[in-house]
A and B are shown apart, each in its own frame.
Chain A
Amino acid sequence: EAGVAQSPRYKIIEKRQSVAFWCNPISGHATLYWYQQILGQGPKLLIQFQNNGVVDDSQLPKDRFSAERLKGVDSTLKIQPAKLEDSAVYLCASSLMTSGGKQFFGPGTRLTVL
């Protein structure tokens, strides 16, 4: 079974630039999550989708971050404009709708903002 796919794996940008990340969840997984993991910390949920609807985006910095999952499958996360403190690994995860904590993570995108 194919896992969660993410791209790019690495990205280096300068502050104030824009960046976008892509995620393709496991086939059949209705729920998709974006997490931010800063070095030395655990992952922090940014946004959760159920199919193409947002379930929770309470921790998403909406002045600069946006995410969409238009057809209920792939998702993109965008940062515009980036700040130095956005340097982190951005993890996408997916799960079956009712699986609760059993989430499958992609390899992540490591973002460095200079």
Chain B
Amino acid sequence: RKEVEQDPGPFNVPEGATVAFNCTYSNSASQSFFWYRQDCRKEPKLLMSVYSSGNEDGRFTAQLNRASQYISLLIRDSKLSDSATYLCVVNRDGGSQGNLIFGKGTKLSVKP
């Protein structure tokens, strides 16, 4: 099992749609979870951290299920500017050293 697995995508959705991305991780000792966004030919940028109780930032909602080792990202009311690759990221060993494992990413394309 890969350390971090994501939906392969691509997801092609119309503006205004709601889209959800899923991710699973293999190391039960992992303590920190994140979603990063990467635009085409650009560097990754932190979108949001994922907390056990779930958290929301505007149109974005992240959920964590530790028992299932499952992370999700929900985007409501999609905008053209949301088009990007979304990377699921997990801390490797449960420490605070920032040793991150990135998934392959799921590409989102929002169409007019």
Give A contacts to B, CB under 8 Å. 31, 33, 40-45, 48, 50, 55-56, 91, 95, 98-103, 105-108
Contact = CB atoms under 8 A, between A and B. Distances in A.
B104 A48 contact: no
Nearest to A41: B104
Contacts of A45: 99-101
Given A45-B99, A98-B96, A102-B49, 9 more contacts: A31-B98, A41-B104, A42-B4, A42-B87, A45-B100, A100-B96, A100-B97, A101-B46, A101-B49
Contacts, number: 59
B100 A103 contact: yes
For the complex of A and B, 5 pairs with smallest distance between CB atoms: A42-B102, A105-B43, A101-B34, A100-B96, A43-B102
A99 B89 CA distance: 14
Contacts of B99: 45, 48, 55-56
B46 A42 contact: no
B43 A107 contact: yes
B1 interface: no
Q: What secondary structure prevails in chain B residues at the interface with A?
A: strand
Interface of B: 4, 32-34, 42-46, 49, 87, 89, 91, 96-105
A48 B97 CA distance: 9
B85 to A, nearest CB: 9
Given A48-B97, A55-B97, A100-B32, A107 B102 contact: no
A102 B44 contact: no
20 contacts: A31-B98, A40-B104, A42-B4, A42-B87, A42-B104, A45-B100, A50-B97, A100-B97, A101-B33, A101-B34, A101-B46, A101-B49, A101-B100, A103-B46, A103-B98, A105-B43, A105-B45, A106-B43, A107-B42, A107-B43
